[in-house]
């Protein structure tokens, strides 16, 4: 066996598309996760007891089971309850829900860590609940949760690989497919790990830079 | 530092497998077991029925094991990992079986063929929009990743206008689930597999006749090196004996519902 | 779902629990070693440890499993499916555990370390009696999270041929053509194992919590 770089390189366009797919999946799922996570966190802090219990059960079910099982339930189980989604929307929905539940826990902790005094001060100067949420709670909380949020974001990049199991044409599916087509499986796997490693390192570094920049605005310990 | 480590990794890879191995058959005899890699999503050859690995391969190799005095150990992987696993010597041979093609013959040795493998479409029962293979034009179809059945489907799809969308699946279980769910209108399978699926689930699946592929055969795969030569001979000897004494015909009857002749060897496949 | 399918799933959950438990224990041991190297004075060794952590945290486990299974033979080490799965799970979790432990060791209060030096403890005594006990206790919540993550990650080990809960559910779903109850039951079994881990962890946390750190 030899390390046939040239062979792998001839598949560069296909690999490029797969990389774009992976990054695209990740960005869309990440944005959706943040939105879902924020919604769950805020509703759980301000909603009634029943809503809170329902959401808590949802979050615990998602955080308590492997992503692969959730994906299978949605994709293969869905059609039996009248929910037949294509691979891409099914993958994105599962990934966003998964990320959103993890994000919601981080946001909840973050919101609780915002000093009481800041909120009381805002109430004193006459800000409404909505204004407090938008101007005090969320911005302060976002700075606080950046490190934990970055971890989840990085985790989501790697979770996109699981979508290869239902055949979403992302990096893992495409590169391992090329690997078995050309009998260069080991080369393909090596390339695949380098791709993910680079993506994850870039994302983690961006997160750290943002953390340093924003540490100026970190009010609470 | 990192660049140097990657270089070192690449260098180690390029060194490759230097270590010479002893004869595969005598090693297996010494250990008392023959390790066979396969995919357990390939009914009626290998599949899981209510938790048990069963199929024609299990029956056939239990006979082969008796002939050679070896216990059979199965290693089940997703299909796209099976041939790489064979090359990495994870097991002594591959069951599958796989379609005997020119490209594969260049790289591997095939056993004597054990069944016809001509590729056909499996469709959802009662889907009137697909009456013949050409009806898939403009629709979505699927096949298993790294399979010849998929490659043949792609070739066939390219002759149609508008060209159908071809999806790749990690295993045929997932492809069949998608067919049942209506996400694809057809999946490419060899006739024995498609016929078995339609027989097992008459309310769900149906074979689209005639097959769209050319006439090809299924065989088991072995490594093409000197160390495997004696194993190839032993396996072929055992299977040929079964073809001669009616055990093969009985297995075909049991798993395919009919008996048919298979040539002793395929040297110049149609594909 | 029939009783037979249920017992098959429960048996498979046993395999999942076994593989995860082994990986978690071996991973903590290896993680402790990697953490020690990363915190050591030898800069080259610390660099290698950091590279190790970065790689195994940067590559999806699915890819790591395939790498261990298919790449090791090229390097002359042919391992079985079960070994490959255990090695990959352990290597991966060790990288996370090393980071968790590193964080814990760095948050051992400096005053305690200095006090240990002042009363004349040797570095080994200081490590064994002060730093290690405090750091391990501080790390319990993170170690638990990682144990849960490994339990979930083990759902992927069937790509190298190990039959566990998720793979069993897939196989049974294929033979019954009823994916919904099977995946739901598999999910429920994961939840049960998850709860056992979390409650056990909370007990341990309460029992060993650092009262005045």
Question: Chain A contacts of B77, Cβ < 8 Å?
Answer: none
Q: Are residues B105 and B53 in the same domain?
A: yes
Assess whether the previous peptide bond of C135 is cis (omega < 30° from 0): no
The lowest-confidence range among A90-94, A192-196, C116-120, C204-208 is: C204-208
Tell me the pLDDT band of A2, cut-offs 50, 70 and 90. Answer: low
Question: Contact A92/A36 with Cβ under 8 angstroms?
Answer: no
What's the confidence (pLDDT) of residue A218? Answer: 66
Whether residue C179 and residue B177 make contact (CB cut-off 8 A), yes or no, is yes
**Chain A contacts of C57, Cβ < 8 Å?**
154, 200
The tens digit of pLDDT for each residue in C128-138 reads: 899 988 998 88
Please report, for chain A, the start and end positions of each structural domain, with discontinuous segments joined by +: 5-217
CB contact under 8 A, C69 and B50: no
**For the residues C148-155, what does the mean pLDDT come to?**
96
One domain for residues B108 and B232? yes
**Which candidate in B82, B90, B124, B201 is best for mutational testing of the C interface (most C CBs within 10 A)?**
B90
- Expressed as residue numbers, the domain containing B193 is 119-208
- Across the interface, which of A177, A179, A183 has its CB nearest the CB of B168? A177
* A63 touches A206 (CB < 8 A): no
Strand order in the sheet with B46-49: B41-42, B46-49, B52-54
Cβ neighbours of A1 in C, within 8 Å:
74
Q: Which residue of A has its CA nearest to C197?
A: A64
Q: Structural domain boundaries of chain C? A: 3-208
* Tokens 């029956």, located at residue: B59
Give dist(CA B44, CA C78) in Å, integer: 30
All residues of chain B having their beta carbon less than 8 Å from the beta carbon of residue C158 are 78
Nearest to C74 among B1, B88, B201 (CB): B88
Closest Cβ–Cβ partner in B16, B87, B170 for A2: B16
Residue B206, judged by CB atoms within 10 A of its CB (0-12, 13-18, 19+), counts as: buried
Q: Which of A130, A211, A167, A187 is nearest to A21 (CA)?
A: A167
The beta-carbon neighbor of B2 closest among C51, C171, C174 is C51
On chain A, the residues whose CB falls within 8 A of the CB of C186 are 69
Distance CA C16, CA A68 (A): 14
**Hey, what CATH topology would domain C3-208 get?**
MetI-like fold (1.10.3720)
> Most confidently modeled of A185-194, B12-21, B211-220, C65-74?
B211-220
Q: Do C66 and B81 touch (CB under 8 A)?
A: yes
Token duo for residue B90: 């994870």
Is A79 strand, coil or helix?
helix
Residues B54 and B171 in one domain: no
Please check whether residue A176 touches B, CB under 8 A: yes
Q: Across the strands, what pairs with C119?
A: none
φ, ψ for residue B209 (rounded to 5)? -100, 150
Examine the domain organization and report whether B101 and B224 are in the same domain.
Answer: yes
> What is the structure's pLDDT at A8?
64
Q: Are A156 and A106 in contact (CB under 8 A)?
A: no
The three state secondary structure string of C67-133 is HHHHHHHHCCCCCCHHHHHHHHHHHHHHHHHHHHHHHHHHCCCHHHHHHHHHCCCCHHHHHHHHHHH
Task: Identify the CA nearest to C58 among candidates B211, A119, A158, A156.
Answer: A158
B160 with B204, same domain: the answer is: yes
Are A138 and A114 contacting, i.e. CB atoms less than 8 angstroms apart? Answer: no
Question: Tokens representing B21?
Answer: 């191995």
The verdict on B85 and B140 lying in the same domain is no
CA–CA distance from C106 to each of A108, C138, C145 (Å)? 26, 10, 19
pLDDT value for C211: 59
- Residue C59 has phi, psi (to 5 degrees) of -115, 135
Minimal-distance CA residue of chain C relative to A185: C70
Region A186-194: what's the mean pLDDT? 90
Residue ranges of chain B whose CB lies within 8 Å of a chain C CB = 1-2, 5, 12-13, 16-19, 40-41, 47-51, 75-78, 81, 84-85, 88-90, 173, 176-177, 180, 201, 204
Q: Which residue has the higher pLDDT, C209 or B90?
A: B90
According to CATH, the topology of domain A5-217 is: MetI-like fold (1.10.3720)
pLDDT band, very low/low/confident/very high, at A206 (cuts 50, 70, 90): very high
pLDDT reported for residue B21: 59
In Å, how far is B171's CA from the nearest CA of chain A?
Answer: 9
**A14-18, A135-139, C27-31, C193-197: which range is least confident on average?**
A135-139
Q: Residue A57 and residue A194: Cα distance in Å, rounded?
A: 38
DSSP assignment string, chain B: -HHHHHHHHHHHHHH--------HHHHHHHHTEEEEEE-SEETTTEEEETTEEESHHHHHHHHHHHHHT-EEEEEE--HHHHHHHHHTTSSSEEEEEEE--HHHHHHEEEPSP-EE--EEEEEETT-TT-SSGGGGTTSEEEEETT-HHHHHHHHHHHTSSSPPEEEEESSHHHHHHHHHHTS-SEEEEEHHHHHHHHHH-TTTEEEESSPSSPP-EEEEEEE-SGGGHHHHHHHHHHHHHHHHTTHHHHHHHHHHSS-----S--SS---
* Residue B270 placed within a domain: no
Nearest residue on chain B to A194, alpha-carbon basis: B6
Whether B262 is covered by a domain: the verdict is: no
pLDDT at residue B14 in the model: 44
Distance of alpha carbon A145 from alpha carbon A38, whole angstroms: 12
Q: What is the pLDDT of residue C207?
A: 83
Q: Which residues of B touch A194 (CB under 8 A)?
A: 6
Q: What pLDDT does residue B19 have?
A: 41
Other CB atoms closer than 10 Å to residue C210's CB: what's the count? 15
Looking at residue B139, its pLDDT comes to: 96
Pair (B35, B47) in one structural domain: yes
Chains that touch C (3 or more CB pairs under 8 A): A, B
Q: Which residues of C touch A190 (CB under 8 A)?
A: 67, 71
Give the list of residues 6+ apart from residue C173 with CB closer than 8 angstroms, or none: A72, A76, B173, B177, C179, C182, C183
What backbone torsions phi and psi does residue B255 show, to the nearest 5 degrees? -100, -30
pLDDT digits (tens, 9 = 90+) for A17-71: 999 999 999 999 999 999 999 999 999 988 889 999 999 999 999 999 999 999 9
A221 pLDDT band (50/70/90 cuts)? very low
Classify residue B5: in a domain, yes or no.
no
Q: Which residue numbers in chain B have pLDDT < 50?
A: 1-2, 7, 9-20
Who among C66, C73, C158 is closest to B90 (CB)? C73
Residue C163 touches partner B, C-beta closer than 8 Å: yes
pLDDT of residue C213: 46
Beta-carbon count within 10 A of B202 CB: 10
Give the pairing type, strands B115-116 and B217-223: antiparallel
H or E segment to which residue C203 belongs:
helix C179-208
**Both structure tokens of B204:** 């769900």
Cα–Cα distance for residue pair C146/A147, rounded to 1 Å: 17
Q: Residue A56: which residues within 8 A CB-CB, separation 6 or more?
A: A44
**Number of domains, chain B:** 2
pLDDT of residue B98: 95
Query: In this complex, do A186 and C156 lie within 8 Å of one another by their Cβ atoms?
Result: no
CB contact under 8 A, B174 and A194: no
Percentage, residues of chain C above pLDDT 90: 72
Residues B112 and B226 in one domain: yes
CATH number at residue B108: 3.40.190.10
3-state secondary structure of C28: helix
**Mean pLDDT (whole number) for A169-195:** 88
Q: Which chains, if any, share at least 3 CB pairs under 8 A with chain A?
A: B, C
Q: Write down the ipTM of this complex.
A: 0.89
């Amino acid at each position: 066996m030899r390390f046939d770089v040239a062979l792998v390189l001839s598949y560069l366009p296909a690999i490029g598309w797969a990389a774009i797919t992976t990054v695209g999946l990740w960005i869309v799922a990440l944005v959706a996760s943040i939105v879902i996570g924020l919604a769950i966190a805020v509703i759980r802090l301000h909603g009634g007891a029943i809503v809170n219990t329902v959401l808590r059960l949802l979050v615990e079910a998602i955080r308590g089971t492997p992503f692969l099982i959730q994906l299978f339930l949605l994709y293969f189980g869905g059609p039996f309850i009248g929910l037949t989604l294509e691979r891409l929307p099914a993958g994105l929905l599962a990934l966003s829900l998964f990320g959103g539940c993890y994000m919601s826990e981080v946001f909840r902790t973050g919101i609780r860590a915002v000093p009481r005094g800041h909120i009381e001060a805002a109430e004193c100067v006459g800000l409404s609940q909505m204004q407090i949420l938008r101007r005090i709670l969320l911005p302060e909380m976002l700075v606080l949760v950046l490190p934990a949020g970055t971890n989840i974001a990085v985790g989501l990049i790697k979770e996109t690989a699981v979508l290869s199991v239902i055949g979403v044409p992302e990096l893992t599916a495409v590169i391992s497919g090329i690997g078995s087509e050309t009998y260069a499986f080991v080369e393909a796997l090596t390339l695949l790990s380098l791709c993910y490693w680079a993506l994850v390192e870039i994302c983690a570094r961006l997160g750290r830079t943002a953390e340093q920049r924003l540490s100026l605005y970190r009010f609470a310990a | 530092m990192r660049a140097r480590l990657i270089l070192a990794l690449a260098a180690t890879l390029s060194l490759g497998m230097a270590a010479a191995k002893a004869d595969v058959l005598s090693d297996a005899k010494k250990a008392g077991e023959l390790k066979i890699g396969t995919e357990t999503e390939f009914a009626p050859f290998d599949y899981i029925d209510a938790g048990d690995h069963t199929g024609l391969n299990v029956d056939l190799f239990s006979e082969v094991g008796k002939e050679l005095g070896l216990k059979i150990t199965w290693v089940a992987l997703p299909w796209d990992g099976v041939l790489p696993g064979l090359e990495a010597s994870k097991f002594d041979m591959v069951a599958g079986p796989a379609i005997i093609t020119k490209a594969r013959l260049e790289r591997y040795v095939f056993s004597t063929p054990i069944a016809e493998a001509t590729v056909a479409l499996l469709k959802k029962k009662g889907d009137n929009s697909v009456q013949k293979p050409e009806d898939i034009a403009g629709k979505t179809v699927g096949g298993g990743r790294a399979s010849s059945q998929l490659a043949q489907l792609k070739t066939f799809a390219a002759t149609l206008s508008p060209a159908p969308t071809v999806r790749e699946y990690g295993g045929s279980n997932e492809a069949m689930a998608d067919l049942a769910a209506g996400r694809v209108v057809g999946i490419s399978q060899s006739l024995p597999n498609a016929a078995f699926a339609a027989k097992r689930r008459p309310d769900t699946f149906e074979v689209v006749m005639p097959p769209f592929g050319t006439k090809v055969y299924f065989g088991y795969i072995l490594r093409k090196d000197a160390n495997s030569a004696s194993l190839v001979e032993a396996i072929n000897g055992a299977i040929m004996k079964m073809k001669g004494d009616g055990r093969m015909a009985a297995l075909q009857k049991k798993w395919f519902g009919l008996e048919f002749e298979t040539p002793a060897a395929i040297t110049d496949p149609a594909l | 779902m029939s009783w037979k399918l249920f017992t098959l799933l429960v048996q498979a959950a046993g395999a999942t629990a076994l593989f995860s438990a082994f990986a978690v224990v071996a991973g903590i041991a290896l993680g402790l070693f990697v953490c020690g190297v990363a915190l050591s004075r030898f800069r080259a060794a610390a660099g290698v440890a950091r590279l190790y952590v970065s790689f195994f945290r940067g590559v999806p486990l699915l890819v790591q499993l395939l790498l261990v299974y298919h790449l090791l033979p090229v390097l002359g080490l042919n391992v079985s499916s079960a070994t490959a799965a255990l090695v990959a799970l352990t290597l991966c979790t060790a990288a996370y555990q090393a980071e968790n432990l590193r964080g814990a060791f760095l948050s051992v209060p400096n005053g305690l370390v200095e006090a240990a030096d002042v009363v004349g403890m040797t570095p080994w005594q200081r490590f064994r009696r002060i730093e290690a006990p405090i750091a391990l206790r501080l790390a319990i919540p993170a170690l638990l999270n990682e144990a849960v993550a490994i339990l979930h990650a083990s759902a992927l080990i069937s790509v190298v041929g190990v039959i566990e809960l998720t793979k069993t559910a897939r196989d049974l779903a294929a033979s019954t053509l009823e994916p919904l109850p099977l995946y739901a039951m598999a999910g429920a079994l994961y939840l049960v194992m998850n709860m056992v881990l979390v409650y056990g962890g909370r007990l341990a946390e309460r029992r060993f919590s650092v009262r005045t750190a």
